Amino acid sequence: MNQAQRKLRLAVLLSGGGTNLQALLDRFASGVLKGEVAAVVSDRPDAYGLVRAQNAGVDTHVVDYGRYAVRDAAELAGLADGAAKSGGLPVDLEELDQSQKIIRIPDRTKRLLRLAGLVRAEQALISLLEPYEPDYVCLAGYMRLVSPHFLNHYNRRDRWRVLNIHPALLPAFPGQHGYEDTFAYGCKWGGITVHFVDEGEDSGPVIAQAVYPIWPRDDIEQVRARGLKLEYEVYSQCINWLAAGQVEVERGGGTVGAGITTRVHITDPSYADIVRGWTRMAFE
Catalytic residue numbers read 166
Residue 248's Cβ-count burial label (10 Å; 0-12, 13-18, 19+) is exposed
**What string of DSSP letters covers 43-66?**
S-TT-HHHHHHHHTT-EEEE--GG
Start-to-end C-alpha separation, the chain: 39
What's the CA gap between 135 and 247, in Å, rounded? 14
* Amino acid identity at 277: G
> Do 161 and 10 meet the contact criterion of CB atoms below 8 Å apart?
no
Q: Which of 56, 18, 237, 255 is nearest to 139 (CA)?
A: 18
Q: How many residues does the chain have?
A: 284
Rounded Cα gap, residues 145 and 125, in angstroms: 13
Could you say which DSSP state residue 188 is in? S
- Tell me which residue of 254, 271, 240 sits closest to 36, measured CA to CA: 240
Nearest to 155 by CA among 118, 197, 192: 197
